[in-house]
Amino acid sequence: MIPFIGLTGGIGAGKSTALEALERLGAAVVSTDGIVHELYLTPAVRNAVTERFGPEVAPGGVVDRAAVAAQAFATPAERAWLEGLLWPLVGARMLAWREEVERRSPRPRAAVVEVPLLFEAGMGEAFDATISVIAHEPVRGERAASRGHAAVDQRAARQLTQEEKAAQATFVVLNDGSPADLESALSGVLDKLDS
């Protein structure tokens, strides 16, 4: 079996950059955020969120993720509803992707899934190993601000701290340096998985 790896980290830690590096290093990769993007394009999910939050979250029939986030993060009940809608669908797509990866030839070094709320969703046990990408707070703040993350405080408030994520992860990778430094550290992780 190809090692099945969960990748996580806080906002601005560099999860997406790490995922890209892992792909260059020979891993098959998928992002749960990407899966959610695809799900919002389906009529079933679009209809569910517009029924719950109103037609203004899907102007012209296209879901506005920022508008949904603003509604969902307004209260714990709304967030729980959205997670209850999306997480089972994401899980099903993730498992289908894993089965497809197992059939690939040549075989990838690992199958890596980026899951921002991996430990918060209780998904740690679903993986053979987990990687937590961390970065010092000033670096994370700069990165998050430069990407214009909406509702950063609300999103961060529902996540475990970096230290909590790191304590639960199999591997911890510091991402304060260059993309090349990050790729080198991740190469070392893949080497350990190969051994």
| pLDDT tens-digit profile, the chain (195 residues) | 899 999 999 888 889 999 999 999 999 999 999 999 999 999 999 999 999 999 999 999 999 998 999 999 889 899 999 999 998 999 899 999 999 999 999 999 999 999 988 998 888 899 999 999 998 877 777 767 676 654 455 555 667 888 899 999 999 999 998 999 999 999 999 999 987
Instruction: Give the separation between CA 191 and CA 46, rounded to whole angstroms.
Output: 42
Q: What was the pLDDT predicted at 147?
A: 63
| C-alpha span between 161 and 114 (Å, rounded) | 17
Instruction: List beta partners, residue 171.
Output: 131
Backbone φ/ψ region at 37: left (φ over 0), alpha (ψ -120 to 50), beta: alpha
pTM for the model:
0.87
pLDDT of residue 23: 97
pLDDT at position 180, please? 94
Report the SS3 class of residue 113: strand
Helix, strand or coil, per DSSP, at residue 111? strand
Domains contained in the chain, CATH given: 4-194 (3.40.50.300)
- Predicted pLDDT of residue 151: 44
Residue 148: what pLDDT? 60
At residue 149, the pLDDT reads 53
